[in-house]
Amino acid sequence: MMNDYSDIVRKLFGESTAITGIRPVSGGDINEAFLLSLSDGSRIFLKENTEKNAGFFKAEMTGLSAIRKTGAIQVPEVREAGVIHGRSYLMMEYLEVAPAKKDYWEHFGRQLAGMHKADPSEFTPGGKYGFFEDNYIGAGRQINEIRDSWIDFFRDCRLEVQFLRAQNYFDASGRKAMQKLLDHLDRFLIEPSSPSLLHGDLWSGNFVTGPDGYACLIDPAVYAGHYEADLAMTELFGGFAPAFYGAYKEVNGSLPGYPDRREIYNLYHLLNHLNLFGSGYYGAVMRIIRRLV
């Protein structure tokens, strides 16, 4: 394996640089992950998958680059992505984890709010909703077709896509209730004043503490949408520290009715989990739908 990446390392770090060690590490999720030690003393985080899944890494590289361009919050630097010997790979900066600073959560909240206030029009023509290419939410394909309206985008490219994939889990009554929610989504969601660049999959497993002691975002599923969708995801699996939300609101405010909209935004992720992991998520999906319609 070391020989497989030797030429790539020399291209990136200089002809005299060699791989001196490689070992498996955690953090790959659906991929295999390794730590590469180099002769110049630096280290590289390497993820591998099958050749047919090379799109995962292309999308991740694009998403991290988009977040980096906002200048609001740190992400690991991507070094290289491609296919070699029938395996797709992604090489990126290895983050040396440091102790979290005392104001970690306040800093994180302010930085995420800053990212949400950045102009995402580079990634969607005309300042609309979506992204210039599709990507992935976990192992599921995420459709990012451009829409003029946030509500139309969230209906067409988020809820309806996942609902159609999950048809076999729904009985007739469940399908009717879900369709009613889709047909009347404008009763529940609101249009933002402008789109925000979203991480797209912002739960506790998709940020780490960087070498400066502050949050660093990883594994994005980016698109331009309503910032509330990112905030809702932070609350789906237990929530972040209260200081995070307080600092966020100081920068980007909050809108009346968010708790109800939060349920709809997280319905997307629960439907995705239903499609990826099976019927254990059906009850949570239906509780939200029944409560709303």
**Residues designated as active site:** 201
What token pair was written down for 115?
Answer: 């990212």
Quote the CA–CA distance of 217 and 202 in Å, as a whole number: 8
The tokens for 251 are 């920068």
Identify the DSSP state of 26. S
Query: What are φ and ψ of residue 57, in 5° steps?
Result: -75, -35
Q: Are 198 and 154 in contact (CB under 8 A)?
A: no
CA distance 44 to 22: 9
Q: How far apart are CA 77 and CA 140, in angstroms?
A: 24
Compute the distance between CA of residue 43 and CA of residue 45 in angstroms, rounded to an integer.
Answer: 7
Alpha carbon of 58 to those of 38, 63, 80, 181: distances in Å?
A: 24, 9, 10, 34
Nearest alpha carbon to residue 106 among 247, 249, 254, 241 = 247
**Residue pair 120/196 in contact by the 8 Å Cβ criterion:** yes
What 8-state DSSP symbol labels residue 130? B
The whole-angstrom separation of Cα 197 and Cα 177 is 31
Strand pairing partners for 46?
A: 34, 91
Residues 264, 269, 271, 275: what is their CA dihedral angle, to the nearest 10 degrees?
170
Report the sign of the C-alpha dihedral through residues 73, 78, 81, 87, in that order: negative
